[in-house]
Every structure is written in structure tokens, then in C-alpha cells.
Amino acid sequence: MSALATVPTPLGPFTALVDADGAVLAAGWTDDADALLALVHPELRPAEPARRAELGDVTAAVAAYHDGDPEPATSTPVRQRGGAATSAIWEQLRAVPPGAPTTYGELAVAAGHPRGHRIAARACITNAATLFVPCHRVLRRGGALGGYRWGLELKERLLGLEASWRVDDAALSGV
């Protein structure tokens, strides 16, 4: 049975929706479960997900991310429905390292679509599983933030948070 949970984070409430197998269908910094549910592709959208206090590994991944460990979110299963190009972009997004943002054009090239910066932008717009498919790590050419479903202020905070992890990692390794 599908389920959803909203948990508090330092950046605001975070809600995740998972399918019966525990794969993330949608996620974001919101407590509006209906709006989040509307982001799920109609073929994957559950009728009435159970409301839970937490979602096991998914909730643990959200907590780990906010504590400075993005790896559990990166390896959490995600289920989204899109065309081949969109799916390739989503897959490539999961490989973008925290603290090292990319551009829409670079993302498109990495996903095998060298002229697909608009495809990359559209994939980010339609990405329902933010954090687990980290579209906040994509910038416009020249470094402008571009857009973000959960607001540019949050995107900037996420990028700053992730950049601080890289600084911390460099300090720990003596670089």
C-alpha cells in the first residue's frame, strides 16, 4: 500500500510519498500532501495513500541529508514516468554530486542529448521526486539559479548547504 509522511526539517516540512514497494513517487519541502500527490504521473498516482508518521528508510534518508549525508537519498529507489529523454535526464541528475552544480546544457550532454538543454529544463520542471532526484543542483548557463518548484530561496539554501559539505570534506582531507 502506498503511504506518505511529512517530517520537520531545518528547511521546513518535507513530505514524501512512496509506493507499495517503498520507491519514492514524489517528495518536496511542503506539508501539502494533495499538491504533492498531483505531481505524480497519473499511471502511478495512488488513490488514497496511507498517512504515516514516518517512512522508514525514506525518512532516514531525508534526516541524513539534512545532517550532511546525501548518499542515502541518492540511493533511495525512485519511480517516475517519463519519456526516454526525460528519464535519462532524471537518471543523470542522481549522479550530479552535491556541492558541484551543473547547467541544463551540461546535464543534457551527460544524458546523451547534446542539444537538449530544454529537455533538461523540462525534466527538472516535471521532476516529482526532488531531493531524491536533485534538480536543485542545476543552474542556468552563467550560474543564474533558474527555477525551482519549492522556491529560489530554498534552492539557494540547498546549494549553500551542499557547498559547505564540500568545504568541510576538503578541510577534513587536508586539501
Active site residues: 135
Kindly report the CA angle at 59 between 55 and 62, in degrees rounded to 5? Answer: 155
Query: Smallest Cα–Cα separation from 80: which of 148, 34, 128?
Result: 128
Q: For the chain, where are the E strands, in sequence order?
A: 3-7, 14-18, 24-28, 50-51, 102-103, 138-139
163 is written with which cell numbers? 557547498
3-class DSSP assignment, residue 148: coil
For helices 84-93 and 117-126, angle between their N-to-C axes, nearest 10 degrees: 80
